[in-house]
Structure 1
């Protein structure tokens, strides 16, 4: 993988070319002060002061151990001046205007990634945001965005930098009717579509079994007619969404391998796919027994006690035994 391949996958790079076949998006370049705010982990977690009084959690400090004494200088014994929450008025006004234009609700992402790992902290448990403060809360709480901020080029064979020269915030229109079963990840090797995977692999959707052949035709035609002609890398992945009226929308581009999840494939399998021939492999979860493991909880996995003897340890053991029982049962082999 080369740096140029990673750079092409930044949303501010690919969106202008695919705007007509993507979801409506506004992109704002982030000031250096806001980028440093996202990177700063040296003190209490303070949300920015909202000039519109639209705080997600007013005056919230996200560090319980320091909540009571964060105003005292370490080792001084003297009271220090209270910490002033940051403020980004120009950026907030631009974002507020964009949210209103997009219908009042959006989900955010940086150059490459969305803060999916911090959805648990929002009041809705999703990435849906209606204010600048809600966006700041999700971005500041996300560990996955550290990839964008510090490690985007770690897997590049010609690595010359650790972060891009500029960061961007993409505000993507929130669609309440979004159906997760209609989102797919597509794998391109040698400018040839070699694989398609159901994007949400933790759920079995019977409708996909019925529509699999039609969906494969739609996505392959979309790739050959639009994506292959406009995206310059040889190896990459892209995510699409198929609407109820059978229109295909491109949602994202990601580099081949590295931090990109192969979902129902493995990267070893995909690397072995021939670059020539007609052997497109479309994979879906075809039964409840084939669902990929995943903990759908309201808190991050790291916060759970999964040690031996814990409640979650017993749950996982029971789930594994049940999966083996179902797999060996006569009904599973039918």
Structure 2
């Protein structure tokens, strides 16, 4: 009976705890909002890659989510989702061009006698395809302004997980249809659209550079406004030249954080990605991401990054220092579900060797610091 009594002090504690949780959630929401590219880009424009923005119409967002383009066009909740159709474009460009067969097989030859039926089917298919002519025109203009090639992303995510479906195997886009294909095929984009409380979304088109070197891209981890860790961004490869540059690169990124990022970005906990140019060692800001959430820790894991005292005083900078330490990532160029990750599989053995090599590197680094 006595244990059921709730004192005024208990109620006061509960009130403060509820208030703390509410403020904590508000803080997390605010930090997530700040990581949207159109939120941070204006303040960091001189230190980033040129980017143009396009508000996405609701109809295009619904298209990406596999919903009817018009909310009133289908009120049946049990109706099947629209098929995977690329938009009908004014340019007629196809992001997945079909190769013409030199020799027709017998079955294909038979279809020639039914050309009228085929024409009708093709016309029906065209009529079913959604169309976004105004957005397409604006996007095509921006692509031309940015030199003919762009890298697309929405508020937070880019469709990196869909690069495998592109004919070039990356996110290089030269047309609206290229962009629509990547966005439509991306689970990352679908997650952002379906799990966000936002009422509006933007398409960010970033100037694409063929000359970028993946070994010069890094992810920096900031906790309580302190830079605590830096990781090589592409953990799927070992770059021997990077090993010799490690110390100088660390000093360069620490200075960039102190002089540019920390004074301009208000969040306490976050990550940011940068690229260091090869010729003049300039640091280019690529992106901000929320702490944890769905951000990859790369050469770290989130448990160690959140350990009390981790990275305080000395920033932990990790790179892949041997071929055995590489880690599989999005560059596998196939959907994750296609990989056999089961016990005893090739990937399973590979990951175990990679973890062993990483632990060996960490021991060697700690001994050398003593």
Give your verdict on TM over 0.5.
yes
Q: Is the 8 A contact 1:49 1:55 kept in 2?
A: no
Report whether the alignment pairs 1:33 with 2:72.
no
Q: Which residue of 2 aligns with 1:48?
A: 87
Q: Which residue of 2 aligns with 1:10?
A: 36
Q: Which residue of 2 aligns with 1:104?
A: 148
Please list every run of 5 or more consecutive structure 2 residues that lacks an aligned counterpart in the other structure. 1-26, 68-80, 99-123, 359-363, 365-370
Which residues of 2 match residues 148-297 of structure 1 at below 5 A? 148-151=192-195, 162-244=196-278, 245-274=280-309, 277-294=312-329, 296-297=331-332
Q: Which residue of 1 aligns with 2:102?
A: none
Q: Is the 8 A contact 1:190 1:275 kept in 2?
A: no
Q: Is the 8 A contact 1:237 1:256 kept in 2?
A: yes
CA distance in 2, matches of 1:263, 1:141: 24
Larger Rg: 2
Q: Which residue of 1 aligns with 2:133?
A: 89
Describe the SS at the equivalent of 1:2.
Answer: helix
Query: Alignment RMSD, CA only?
Result: 2.7
Shift of 1:258: 1.6
Describe the SS at the equivalent of 1:217.
Answer: helix
Aligned length: 295
CA distance in 1, matches of 2:271, 2:168: 29
CA distance in 2, matches of 1:213, 1:325: 24
Give the stretch that moved more between structures: 279-288 or 9-18: 279-288
Please list every run of 5 or more consecutive structure 1 residues that lacks an aligned counterpart in the other structure. 60-80, 152-161, 328-332
CA distance in 1, matches of 2:132, 2:155: 20
- Relative distance call for 1:206 and 1:43 in structure 2 (3 A) is same
In the alignment, which of 110, 116, 120 is matched to residue 164 of structure 2? 120
Judging by fraction of residues, say which structure has more helix: 2
Q: Which residue of 1 aligns with 2:11?
A: none
TM-score w.r.t. the length of structure 2 is 0.74
CA distance in 2, matches of 1:262, 1:297: 18
TM-score w.r.t. the length of structure 1 is 0.81
Task: Give per-residue Cα distances to partners, 1:15-71, cap 9 Å, x unaligned.
Answer: 111010001111111011100000116121111111122232479xxxxxxxxxxxx
